[in-house]
Amino acid sequence: MIDFQTSPERYKHWRLSFAGPVATLTMDVAEDGGLIPGYNLKLNSYDLGVEIELYDAVQRLRFEHPEVKTVVLTSGRDNVFCAGANIRMLGQSSHGHKVNFCKFTNETRNSIEDASESSKQIWMAAVNGSCAGGGYELALATDHILLVDDGSTTVSLPELPLLAVLPGTGGLTRLTDKRKVRRDLADVFCTTEEGIRGKRAVAWNLVDEVAPRSRFEEAVSARALALAELSDRPVDQKGVALNPLERTLEDDRVVYPHVTIEIDRDLGVAEIMVRGPVSAPPSSIDEICAKGVDFWPLALARELDDMILHLRANEDDIGVWVFRTAGDSDFVALADTALQEHADHWLVREIVLYLKRTLKRLDVTSRSMIALIEPGSCFTGTLFEVALAADRSYMLDGRMDGDNRPPPTVHLTAMNFGPYTMSNGLTRLSTRFLGDPDARDNARDQTGTHVTGLDAESLGLVTFAPDDIDWEDEVRIALEERAGFSPDALTGLEANLRFPGPETMETRIFARLTAWQNWIFQRPNAVGDGGALQLYGTGDQAKFDKHRV
């Protein structure tokens, strides 16, 4: 089983150090520390295990160290920054693992960019040695790249000429959309094995500045302190320790304090129950800070995040996720009110951003998702975002025969109209009503009210609202039908339907680049017996099928 939980004292590949407002995250990959046997992580190359530690470090820097304003990402190796994803690992991995690995690394790079943009914890790369492929993609995720100018160190994206694949962690898109590198220069750069160095790298906007090795450390320190001046992070606040998650793993069941997964392997369905707060959450910022990781919105974000990653990596044949909620809708609404009222506080800002990133992770997950809204549900505000992220939703109109609980309702809050934007830059409600802004405004008018089944269906907030006579049959047919479709076709269908509206760097990475990489990873020119990825390092020349598709 792949476990996405770790902590600094367990890191094999990274070191964290602190000096006032500046943290340094040093990459020093243990060659014999691969996640699975069969390859050595030479030249600071990485696998999923290295990435899991990096993601943990990003999270801890944001939550545990509010005083850190700049993060310097650098290498602990002489003359090498990072050689990118380990080629032996890619060569021996299944297709699914390769694609999932690329997706997770992209999400981690997005979290670094979100830290710089939204948390004002600004990341810079101190590239002190050769920087190739995924290593350069890692540097691209930062806001500022400082390259050592020693006559030999280069940055490069050599995946196409060497491996017949693409820079799978968003390299092409970040070159053009983020760095604004000219298309013709990007074309040369991405087809040149040896890379670009020094002043030309600056001129082409591949890096921001260079410094000779003799004063490289001085230049890094000066730039880190200058970037720190741009941050609004507090210097006198105590961080929140991200203690280990409570989690029980069984064969067909995973239990967290607020999330439970029940797996039906015959049907290929994961039943996911998300529970709201059991009492009124704290409302003052002092109480929220004192609650720390036990504050329900933060606990929810951590559990949902781990749940998504666990199911994606370890249960790839479970293709349908069914979401239910349980709890007091008013308590969820109070939690949302606390998030809204203290939005300017650094910790609340981090919690909202974490929920936003976790919901985005749900959006790009290649699983069919269905929300069931039943008596006892609390699809309110933040939790209603889960229903909006689902491919379809069913809401019982009324109550079941013999059930004395009130009919289910959905309840919109202000959190549904701004903080949780998708990769396209729009809220899920704006995305849902892309061609009908009046419908979005009608939904906004219902903020703070409890909307029942047929009204929710009429407003477009849910897909269907069957009564108790039809409920069981409609839900059963939907699940059986979904489980019977081709998973490949469903992945394509869902990815196309989930992201209408504006195209952004993120949507290009996940909806375009990932799709192409997925396809290329199955082509003989890359992964066949004579493919470049399989033959790399053997001395044999790849034999390409020259037909364009």
Residues in the chain: 549
CATH T-level assignment (fold) for domain 249-497: 2-enoyl-CoA Hydratase; Chain A, domain 1 (3.90.226)
Taking phi first (over 0 means left), then psi (-120 to 50 degrees means alpha), and beta for anything else, what does residue 106 get? alpha
Looking at the chain, the whole-number percentage of residues with pLDDT higher than 70 is 100
User: What CATH number does the domain located at 8-228 have?
Assistant: 3.90.226.10
pLDDT at 161: 94
For tokens 């690992």, the residue is: 89
β 259-264/320-326 pair status: unpaired
Q: How far apart are CA 515 and CA 133, in angstroms?
A: 19
**What is the number of alpha carbons within 13 Å of residue 366 lying toward its C-beta?**
23
pLDDT at 513: 76
Question: Average pLDDT of 46-61?
Answer: 98
79-82 β-sheet, strand order? 79-82, 129-132, 154-156, 196-197
pLDDT at 495: 87
Cα torsion angle, 224, 230, 235, 239, sign: negative
pLDDT at 371: 98
Q: Which residue has the higher pLDDT, 333 or 508?
A: 333
C-beta separation of 53 from 6 below 8 A: yes
Spell out the domain ranges in the chain.
8-228, 249-497
pLDDT at 323: 98
In tens, the pLDDT along 362-401 reads 999 999 999 999 999 999 999 999 999 999 999 999 999 9
How far apart, in Å, are the Cα atoms of 92 and each of 34, 52, 535? 13, 19, 12
Q: How far apart are CA 33 and CA 36, in angstroms?
A: 8
How far apart, in Å, are the Cα atoms of 230 and each of 69, 220, 224? 8, 16, 10
pTM summary value: 0.97
Looking at the chain, the whole-number percentage of residues with pLDDT higher than 90 is 92
Q: How far apart are CA 59 and CA 318, in angstroms?
A: 28
Question: Average pLDDT of 127-145?
Answer: 98
Torsions phi, psi for 17 (to 5 deg): -140, 160
Q: How far apart are CA 104 and CA 127, in angstroms?
A: 23
Q: Dihedral through CA 340, CA 345, CA 347, CA 352, nearest 10?
A: 30
pLDDT at 537: 87
336 — pLDDT class (breaks 50, 70, 90) = very high
In tens, the pLDDT along 219-267 reads 999 999 999 999 999 999 999 999 999 999 999 999 999 999 999 999 9
3-state secondary structure (DSSP) of residue 21: coil
Question: Average pLDDT of 538-543?
Answer: 91
Helix H or strand E segment including 252: none
| 8-228 and 249-497, same CATH topology | yes
The runs of H, that is alpha helices, within 417-531 are: 428-432, 437-444, 453-459, 471-484, 487-497, 505-507, 514-520, 524-527
